[in-house]
């Protein structure tokens, strides 16, 4: 089972929105997915209450239970666990980073967001934890200079998920409806962008598997994403 944590100290960057939409898109592609909500704010847990479909499951739990729950889920055959964390420097976020195989850091194209990501980046680098920034809430309508400047700044700080996400109302409406954007508006631009991020992420996770095979002769399979 792959474990991916959404982390940033800055609030409102899109951790919860992307966690649920990515989980829905991953489930649609055939993966067995679970979202673990360890944020006391409970955004993803509340989203799940508004939802009628059961998959992807959301488990709300205190961060202290995270490692035992992940162990159980792995044994139950899940392919992917996505962890949603509080937007603060907290034990919960640290534990989610420790448990993750890969971390995604949603960042808006703003100096404030980029600067606020530095302690998280330091924490991850000190532990050799692979991560990537995801540029979220970019101005819609193609690459603006604000987005290009943010891309350049983030590439200097670490790895960047190549597909970016624009500011689109589908994210707000999907969250309110207990849906992922690929369900809310399957042919919309937000849905395309989330699928592109999922494809980038699964390719990145498979590359980590290849490194693991070379290092230890063991692999964690991730089913193909169509």
Ligand X SMILES: Nc1ncnc2c1ncn2[C@@H]1O[C@H](COP(=O)(O)OP(=O)(O)OP(=O)(O)O)[C@@H](O)[C@H]1O
Locate tokens 């420790």: which residue? 98
Q: How far is the CB of 207 from ligand X (least distance, A)?
A: 26
Closest CB to ligand X among residues 20, 27: 20
Q: Does 196 participate in binding ligand X (rule CB under 6 A)?
A: no
Pick the closer one to ligand X by CB: 39 or 79: 39
Give CA 208 to chain center in angstroms. 16
Residue 164 as a binder of Mg ion (CB under 5 A): the answer is no
Residues 6+ apart with CB under 8 A from 3: 70, 80, 81, 83, 99, 100, 101, 102
108 lies in the site for Mg ion, by CB under 5 A: no
DSSP annotation of 63 reads G
Beta-carbon contacts of residue 208 (< 8 Å; ≥ 6 apart): 101, 102, 130
CA distance 194 to 23: 10
Tell whether residue 16 is a contact of Mg ion (CB under 5 A): yes
Comparing C-alpha atoms, which of 25, 32, 22, 47 is closest to residue 1?
32
Residue 189 binds ligand X (CB under 6 A): no
Closest CB to ligand X among 15 and 51?
15
Of the two residues 97 and 222, which places its CB atom closer to ligand X in the complex?
Answer: 97
**Least Å distance between CB 190 and ligand X?**
7
CB of 3 to ligand X, least distance (A): 18
- Is residue 14 involved in binding ligand X (CB under 6 A)? yes
Region of 39-47, 56-64, 95-103, 172-180 interacting with Mg ion (CB under 5 A): 39-47
Judge whether 4 and 80 are in contact, CB under 8 Å.
Answer: yes
Q: Are strands 33-37 and 80-84 parallel, antiparallel or unpaired?
A: parallel
Among 17, 29, 120, 202, the residue binding ligand X under the rule CB under 6 A is 17
Query: Interface with ligand X by CB under 6 A: which range of 65-73, 146-154, 160-168, 217-225?
Result: 160-168
Strand stretches in the chain, DSSP E? 2-6, 33-37, 57-60, 80-84, 102-107, 131-135
DSSP symbol at 50: T
Q: How many Å is the Cα radius of gyration of the chain?
A: 16
Residue number with the smallest Cβ distance to ligand X = 87
The binding site for ligand X (CB under 6 A) comprises: 11-17, 39, 41, 43, 87, 136-137, 165, 167-168, 171-172, 175
The binding site for Mg ion (CB under 5 A) comprises: 15-16, 43
């Amino acid at each position: 089972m792959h474990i991916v944590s959404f982390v940033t100290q800055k609030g409102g960057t899109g951790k919860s929105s992307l966690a649920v939409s990515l989980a829905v898109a991953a489930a649609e592609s055939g993966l067995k997915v679970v979202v673990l909500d360890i944020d006391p704010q409970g955004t993803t847990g509340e989203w799940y209450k508004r939802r009628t479909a059961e998959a992807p499951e959301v488990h709300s739990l205190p961060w202290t239970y995270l490692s035992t729950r992940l162990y159980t889920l792995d044994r139950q055959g899940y392919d992917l666990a996505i962890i949603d964390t509080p937007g603060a420097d907290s034990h919960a976020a640290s534990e989610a980073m420790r448990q993750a195989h890969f971390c995604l850091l949603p960042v808006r194209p703003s100096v404030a967001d980029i600067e606020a990501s530095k302690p998280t980046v330091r924490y991850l680098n000190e532990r050799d934890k692979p991560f990537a920034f995801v540029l979220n809430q970019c101005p819609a309508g193609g690459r603006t200079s604000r987005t290009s400047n943010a891309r350049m700044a983030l590439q200097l700080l670490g790895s960047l998920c190549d597909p970016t996400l624009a500011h689109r109302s589908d994210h707000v409406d999907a969250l309110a409806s207990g849906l992922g954007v690929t369900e809310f508006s399957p042919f919309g631009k937000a849905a395309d962008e989330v699928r592109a991020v999922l494809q980038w992420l699964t390719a990145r996770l498979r590359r980590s598997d290849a490194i693991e095979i070379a290092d230890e002769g063991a692999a964690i399979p991730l089913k193909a994403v169509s």
